Amino acid sequence: MEAEWLRGVKANFARKPAGNDRLQVKGVYAGECDVAIGNTYYMGAMLTDEKHPEQKAWSHSVNILFPNTDDRGTHVNVSGAVVAKNAPHKENAIKLVEFLASDKGQEMYAEVNNEYPVKDGVPWSDLVQSWGTFKPGPISLNQIAALRKTASELVDKVSFDDGPSLLGKIH
């Protein structure tokens, strides 16, 4: 069943998967596809990046949609930090991670990077707030990690990374 679903997703690709989040949005802008999946962080980056004004036009060609937010919830990526046990400046690394997890660190991270803070009570940036709210999906990182190998095997089984084939294209 999972392989059939994944084949259906693959059959609906406009092109072979390539590029990063910004290039997915550019694909919508260029008319290559109607839908792209990307991280909201990159939308914030494209909207505020003065070095690449063309990316503002790309980002204005799309709307952010949080799928399943009225039902089971939408997937949320999680950024994390670790300190290697052989880190040469372990104490300073720990202080940095502690600062990033603090109210002030989360506030700065949210405002500068247009990321969602992980701490309750830390406000979202104005730009992030303009995208609306969503219900996070309930799947834990442990569940995701436990399914990683199976998911990777399915991707290989259906040759997902090869992109769509002309046979069986669904419209």
3-state secondary structure of 147: helix
Which CATH number goes with the domain that contains 153? 3.40.190.10
95-149 pLDDT tens trace: 999 999 999 999 999 999 999 998 999 999 999 999 999 999 999 889 999 999 9
pLDDT of residue 171: 47
- Listing DSSP states for 25-38 in one string gives HHHHHTTS-S----
Stated as kind and residue range, the H or E segment containing 145 is: helix 141-157
Q: Within 13 A of 84's CA, how many CA atoms are on the CB side?
A: 4
Please give the residue range of the domain that contains residue 99.
81-125
Whether residues 63 and 139 fall in one domain: yes
pLDDT of residue 26: 95
Whether residues 56 and 32 fall in one domain: yes
The region, left, alpha or beta by phi > 0 then psi within -120 to 50, assigned to residue 23 is alpha
Whether residues 106 and 48 fall in one domain: no
Q: Is residue 74 part of a domain?
A: no
Whether residues 103 and 163 fall in one domain: no
2-27 pLDDT tens trace: 899 999 999 999 988 888 999 999 99
Closest by CA to 108, choosing from 129, 125, 130, 96, is: 125
Sign of the C-alpha dihedral, residues 149, 21, 133, 8?
negative
Length of the chain: 171
Whether residues 121 and 137 fall in one domain: no
- CA 112 to CA 18: how far, in whole Å? 28
Widest pairwise Cα distance in the chain: 57
Q: What confidence category does residue 167 fall into, taking pLDDT thresholds of 50, 70 and 90?
A: low
Whether residues 112 and 154 fall in one domain: no
Contact 83, 90 (CB under 8 A): yes
Which residues lie closer than 8 Å to 72 by C-beta, 6 or more apart?
Answer: 137, 138
Whether residues 8 and 64 fall in one domain: yes
**Averaged pLDDT for residues 52-58:** 93
Q: How many structural domains are present in the chain?
A: 2
Whether residues 65 and 106 fall in one domain: no
Q: Is residue 75 part of a domain?
A: no
